Amino acid sequence: MCGKVPLQSYYSQTYIMKKLLIVVFSLMIFTACEAVPKRYSAAYTDVFDTVTQFTAYCGSDEEFEEYSDILHDELLRLHEIFDIYLTYGDTQNACMLNENGSLENPPPELVELIESGKNWYSETDGQLNIALGSVLSLWHDCRENAELPDPDMLKNLSGHCDIENISMDNGIALADPEMSLDFGALAKGYAAEKAAETLIGLGLENFAISCGGNVVTHGKKPSGSWEIGIENPDGGLITSVFVSGESVVTSGDYQRFVEIGGVRYHHIIDPKTLYPAKFWRSVTVISKSSAEADALSTALFCMDQKSGLELIKKHSAEAMWIDQNGEVYRSEGFSDYE
């Protein structure tokens, strides 16, 4: 019989059963491997002066790399438009606007962001002001040198922060030559939202982008919603929120600061006092729109809880505040995400 199988067994029930089983088993394993998408992550450090992390579930390395490159390109493009420190060739960007005082042919995104800034100014009673650039610039330089700004100089510069001086009739023009715009409160949220829209339009279903603490999510991970940890300013985590499609933004006094004479000076300046806002240690906003969440978190950081609550209610968002004593306050629907 030397290894030869009798002809009959090719048609026997046993043989067929065996083969069928192998096929079925292999199909199951195969679909199991294919059906489980892999988690990929990438980070970019060259946009918006912060780190952007991108995590997505894709079927292959190539697929992820493609999306990652597209995301990076889009963020870079918007970063260059909103950058107030550098110009980039012919691009009519924010830096060029601040230097020249006007732009003839501004990119539509810049126009959109400025109009958004104007709306937020009136909604927040001036607590969110994109025209605060000159004051913010002084603080930025002072932080780098670890010294306090001269109060008179601050006062002086605050006179050049009138948002009404931005005219949008013919391109963009700043009526006050000593005024400058700063989009720090809005740019990241807006850019993350636009970039995410691009990815969604291209068919990516499950991903999250964290642009320096501005998180945009879409879809889920295999184990459920995306988990965003909110830091306790004194160390550790206060809580985690779980989102699928919503955006989460946290503004905190522990993110960017300088210590001068033993006192901490953080980077979110209260337009009324011209000094770092003292209301809260941290404010977290959850909203369907990343651009709104970014604006709201900065605005809420510079206002008391009552006004903040009114504002987020108006925009169907939720918020969590941590005050100077470590007390935590939540809006009604916030714990639905915990």
Partner 1 sequence: MSSEMKMTRRIATDGLLTAVCFMLSYVETLLPSAGLPGVKMGLANICVLFALYRLTTWDAVVISGVRIILNWIIFGNISGAIYSVFGAILSLGAMYMLKKSGKFSTIGVSLAGGAVHNFGQVLAAVIMLGPGALGYLPPLLILGEATGAVNGIVAGVILGRVKGWGNSV
Partner 2 sequence: MNKTARNDILLAVAIALAAVAVFLIRIFPAAPAQSCEVIHAGATEAVLPLDGNGVYVCGSVEIEISDGSARIKKSGCPEQICVKHKPISRSGEAVICAPEGVMIRITGEGPDFVQ
Query: Which option in partner 1, partner 2, none does residue 260 bind, with CB closer than 5 to 8 A by kind?
Result: none
What is the rounded (10 degree) CA torsion for 162, 165, 167, 172? -90
Torsion of CA 263, 268, 273, 277, to 10 degrees: -60
CB-nearer residue toward partner 2: 240 or 324: 240
- Three-class DSSP labels, 15-46: HHHHHHHHHHHHHHHHHHHHHCCEEEEEEEEE
Are the C-beta atoms of 297 and 192 separated by less than 8 Å? no
Choice between 224 and 261, CB closer to partner 1: 224
Question: Which CB sits closer to partner 1, 1 or 32?
Answer: 32
| Least distance in angstroms from the C-beta of 10 to partner 1 | 16
Whether the Cβ atoms of residue 330 and residue 319 lie closer than 8 Å to each other: yes
Smaller CB separation from partner 1, 35 or 327: 35
- The 10 Å Cβ neighbour count of residue 286 is 25
From the list 18-26, 134-142, 189-197, 318-326, the region that binds partner 1 by CB under 8 A is: 18-26
Q: How far is it, in rounded angstroms, from Cα 147 to Cα 141?
A: 9
Q: What is the C-alpha separation between 97 and 133, in angstroms, rounded?
A: 12
- The continuous run of DSSP H or E covering 298 comes out as helix 290-301
And the tokens for 41? 């992550």
> Which lies closer to partner 1 via its Cβ, residue 120 or residue 207?
207
Q: Which of 2, 5, 35, 237 binds partner 1 (CB under 8 A)?
A: 35
Minimum Å gap between C-beta 311 and partner 1 is 39
Token reading at 124: 């927040």
Q: Six-digit token pair at 81?
A: 């438009």
Check residue 17 for interaction with partner 1 (CB under 8 A): yes
Q: Does 13 help bind partner 1 (rule: CB under 8 A)? A: yes
| Residue 24 binding result from partner 2, partner 1, none, given CB thresholds of 5 to 8 Å by partner type | partner 1
The answer to whether the beta carbons of residues 202 and 66 sit under 8 Å apart is no
Residues that bind partner 2 (CB under 8 A): 42-46, 49-51, 53, 55, 72, 143-144, 208, 210, 213, 215, 221, 226-231, 235-237, 240, 248-250, 252, 256-259, 284
Interface pattern 36-55 for partner 1 (x via CB under 8 A): x-------------------
16 near partner 1 (CB under 8 A): no
Residue 25 near which of partner 1, partner 2, none (CB within 5-8 Å, type-dependent): partner 1
Please identify which residue in 222, 229, 245, 326 interacts with partner 1, judged by CB under 8 A: 222
Distance separating alpha carbons of residues 240 and 238, to the nearest angstrom: 7
**Shortest distance, CB of residue 336 to partner 2, whole angstroms?**
18
From the list partner 1, partner 2, none, pick the one residue 301 interacts with, judged by a Cβ distance below 5 to 8 Å according to partner type. none
The interaxial angle of helices 290-301 and 187-201, nearest 10 deg, is 160
